């Protein structure tokens, strides 16, 4: 379970098969094969929408449900602030915390007293919470999709010079009522072994003031003989 938690946030860190929970199978389904991508000329519009989202949504608080390879399901609260800051607070007794201070993503394991650090710049995840993105630099592919009566914009990002880092596809729902015209709904992560993890997002609160303490954590290293708690 420990590796599956990490995999949902940074690419290429998980092994195992992807088995969605039955209750969430419909929410997690990729666009059906029979659905047609809107004509390629609309990709320019899609790029503009994503760029506008990056500029308009400076911070975010939302609920998340994560389905990792092997069927493990966790949930919690997501916090995001541009540029580069993100925090996944897992609910219940999950002894993990994922937090980025803008430069480094920290995977904190309070069960074994370990912290793993990965530079934000080394993952395609930077496409999600950066100030903007270089389409070529992250190997981005952007398109508009119609799924049933819903309209989506998808952003797929890779690291062209690090294919082993895997791939992330972020889905935004188009919404005329949203200030940016888009609402973050989910992302799918595919590692180099072809294993997939999904994260569903709901209850989006955008441009909220977030405490600076969210980007810090209690270091569990050296606390092996004492009870550990997430912070």
- Structural domain contains residue 83: no
Please list, in sequence order, all residues whose beta carbon lies within 8 angstroms of the beta carbon of residue 181, skipping any fewer than 6 positions away.
49, 52, 53, 174, 175
For 3, the enclosing helix (H) or strand (E) is: helix 2-7
- Structural domain contains residue 50: yes
Alpha carbon distances (Å) from 83 to 54, 71, 122: 10, 32, 15
Token pair 């996944």: residue = 88
In angstroms, the CA 31 to CA 44 distance is 20
12 or 186, greater pLDDT: 186
The answer on pLDDT for 22 being more than 50 is no
- Structural domain contains residue 18: yes
46 or 225, greater pLDDT: 46
- Structural domain contains residue 214: no
Range of the domain at 12: 2-23+35-76+124-207
As a residue count, the chain comes to 231
The answer on pLDDT for 6 being more than 70 is no
- Structural domain contains residue 112: no
CATH code: domain of residue 9? 2.50.20
Q: How many domains does the chain have?
A: 1
70 or 4, greater pLDDT: 70
- Structural domain contains residue 82: no
- Structural domain contains residue 213: no
For residue 177, the model assigns a pLDDT of 92
In angstroms, the CA 7 to CA 25 distance is 19
Residues 55-82 have a mean pLDDT of: 94
Locate 1 and state its tokens: 């379970």
Q: How confident is the model at residue 182 (pLDDT cuts 50, 70, 90)?
A: very high
Residues 213-225 have a mean pLDDT of: 82
The sheet with strand 182-190 has its strands ordered as 114-119, 104-109, 96-101, 85-90, 73-81, 59-67, 196-206, 182-190, 167-174, 150-158, 141-147
In angstroms, the CA 186 to CA 183 distance is 9
- Tens digit of each residue's pLDDT (9 = 90 or more) over 95-124: 999 999 999 999 999 999 999 998 887 776
In angstroms, the CA 85 to CA 103 distance is 8
In angstroms, the CA 87 to CA 168 distance is 18
For residue 91, the model assigns a pLDDT of 95
Alpha carbon distances (Å) from 10 to 42, 47, 181, 184, 189: 29, 23, 27, 18, 8
Q: How confident is the model at residue 19 (pLDDT cuts 50, 70, 90)?
A: very low
- Looking at the DSSP bridge assignments, the partners of residue 147 are 150
- Structural domain contains residue 144: yes
Locate 137 and state its tokens: 């630099």
For 117, the enclosing helix (H) or strand (E) is: strand 114-119
């Amino acid at each position: 379970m420990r590796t599956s938690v990490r995999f949902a946030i940074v690419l290429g860190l998980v092994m195992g098969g992807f088995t969605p929970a039955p209750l969430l199978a419909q929410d997690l389904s990729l666009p059906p094969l029979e659905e047609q991508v809107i004509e390629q000329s609309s990709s320019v519009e899609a790029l503009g929408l994503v760029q506008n989202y990056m500029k308009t949504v400076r911070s975010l608080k939302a609920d998340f449900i994560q389905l990792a390879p092997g069927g493990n399901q966790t949930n919690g609260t997501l916090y995001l602030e541009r540029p580069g800051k993100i925090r996944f607070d897992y609910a219940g007794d999950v002894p993990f915390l994922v937090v980025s201070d803008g430069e480094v993503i920290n995977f904190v394991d309070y069960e074994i007293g370990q912290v793993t650090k990965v530079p934000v710049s080394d993952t395609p995840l930077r496409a999600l919470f950066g100030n903007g993105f270089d389409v070529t630099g992250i190997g981005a592919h952007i398109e508009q999709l119609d799924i049933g009566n819903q309209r989506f914009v998808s952003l797929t990002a890779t690291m062209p010079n690090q294919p082993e880092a895997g791939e992330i596809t972020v889905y935004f729902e188009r919404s005329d009522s949203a200030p940016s015209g888009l609402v973050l709904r989910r992302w799918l992560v595919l590692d180099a072994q072809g294993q997939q993890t999904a994260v569903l997002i709901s209850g989006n609160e955008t441009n909220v003031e977030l405490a600076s303490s969210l980007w810090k954590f209690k270091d569990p290293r050296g606390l092996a003989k004492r009870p550990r708690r997430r912070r």
